Amino acid sequence: MRATAQDLMASRLMGIRVNGIFMGTWGIGTVLGSIAGLMTAPLTFLSPNMMSEVLILAFAGAILGGFVSLPGAVFGGLIIGVFENMVSYYISPEMKVVLVFVLIIAILYVRPQGIFGGKKTIKKV
């Protein structure tokens, strides 16, 4: 998957079946999305935008951990979840989403590439 995502032509030249990789990736994404929907459906009402809050918080976790690092995105999601529950318990359940985004803004102000994001490099021409 990484090879096809990075360089499609080189992957084909190395003998990787790119179309099979694309179909497998979509299949894995579909299965994981279905499992996430099945797990959150009992907690939320069935509506066209029932996953909007979960989607926003998942995106926030990926931003917080860094898009280039899978462990960083998982760690960012864990930070978001723990912080959200602590705010909900100690401060107010209505303020949890607001304070989560304040946390994200504060961390991105200090480290714009996320916690586990790579170093920012500037090419000199």
Q: Where are the domains of the chain?
A: 1-43, 46-125
Mean pLDDT of the chain: 84
* Contacts for 25-31: CB closer than 8 Å, 24+ residues apart: 25/1
Integer Cα distance of 40 and 57 in angstroms: 13
- DSSP structure class, residue 44: S
Question: Which residue type does 79 have?
Answer: I
* Angle, helices 52-65/70-90, rounded to nearest 10 degrees: 120
Q: Which two three-digit tokens encode residue 11? A: 């992957």
Q: Is 20 helix (H, G, I), strand (E, B) or coil?
A: helix
User: For residue 37, which of 24, 25, 23, 54 has the smallest C-alpha distance?
Assistant: 54
The residue type of 112 is P
* CA distances for 122 relative to 83, 119, 125, angstroms: 34, 10, 10
The pLDDT tens digits for 64-122 are 888 777 888 888 889 888 998 999 899 988 888 888 888 888 888 888 777 776 666 66
More confident call, 24 vs 55: 24
% of the chain surpassing 90 pLDDT: 15
